[in-house]
Amino acid sequence: MRLVIFDLDGTITWRDTFVPFVAGFLKRHPRYWLRLWCVPGALLRYLLAGRDRGRLKEALIVGLLRGVDRLELGAWTDRFVDRLLARGCRPQALEQIRLHREEQDHLVLLSASPDLYVPRIAERLRFNESVCTGVRWDGDLLDGRLTTENRRGEEKARCLEAERRRHGAAAIIAYGNSASDFAHLMLADEGWLISGRAGLIRRAKEMGLRYATWT
């Protein structure tokens, strides 16, 4: 069995999913608009305190979505995922996923994006499992604090190694699109950079990674 690990944002999708998810929910629920005052402060702390993306993500979820009901957020998640899969994914990525599924590979969606919607995307794309950044709930109300490390950079590498131990895979194929993905791509038996950026491609070549540009 081969273990095949896909990044989400920029690899399967054309762009980031977190900001559109949060912004789309707020657009449809004006009663939360007053919470937007928290955004400048969260961004300032991010810039002044080490540029920790996990803390920024947590601050935005807590500041903008804390207390949202599970059913209300779930309804938006369904709509968001429908739109994302209809118009926001790279056709070549979807085809590659299909080919791996036909080969009966074990598909893992590994993303720094939160489990507010990543597991739903994995389910719809028929992945075997998803590994993503966890977010705390208080019963049926969103708490917003993170329950895991932000699944990015070296944390993705740790997750890949955990998947290797858990599945005992004969070979691992991994796809990613950014410099932060190099850490886990280098650990795969076959690491693929999906990018059209010349600088990243040059670095991928130097590191012995494969590369492709998906439309």
In this predicted model, what pLDDT tens digit does every residue of 105-115 receive, in sequence order? 999 999 999 99
| Proportion of the chain above pLDDT 90, given as a percent | 96
- The encoded tokens of residue 59 equal 């601050």
pTM confidence score:
0.95
Residue 110, pLDDT score: 98
Q: Is the pLDDT of residue 164 over 80?
A: yes
- The encoded tokens of residue 71 equal 């059913």
The C-alpha angle 168, 171, 172, rounded to 5 degrees, equals 95
In this predicted model, what pLDDT tens digit does every residue of 5-53 receive, in sequence order? 999 999 999 999 999 999 999 999 999 999 999 999 999 999 998 899 9
Q: Is the pLDDT of residue 170 over 80?
A: no
Task: Report how many domains make up the chain.
Answer: 1
In this predicted model, what pLDDT tens digit does every residue of 73-110 receive, in sequence order? 999 999 999 999 999 999 999 999 999 999 999 999 99
In this predicted model, what pLDDT tens digit does every residue of 190-199 receive, in sequence order? 999 999 999 9
- The domain that contains 204 carries what CATH number? 3.40.50.1000
Point out which residues pair with 192 in neighbouring strands.
175, 210
Average pLDDT over residues 153-181: 94
Name the residue range of residue 179's domain. Answer: 2-212
Alpha carbon distance 101, 182 (integer Å): 24
Using pLDDT thresholds of 50, 70 and 90, give the confidence band for residue 168: confident
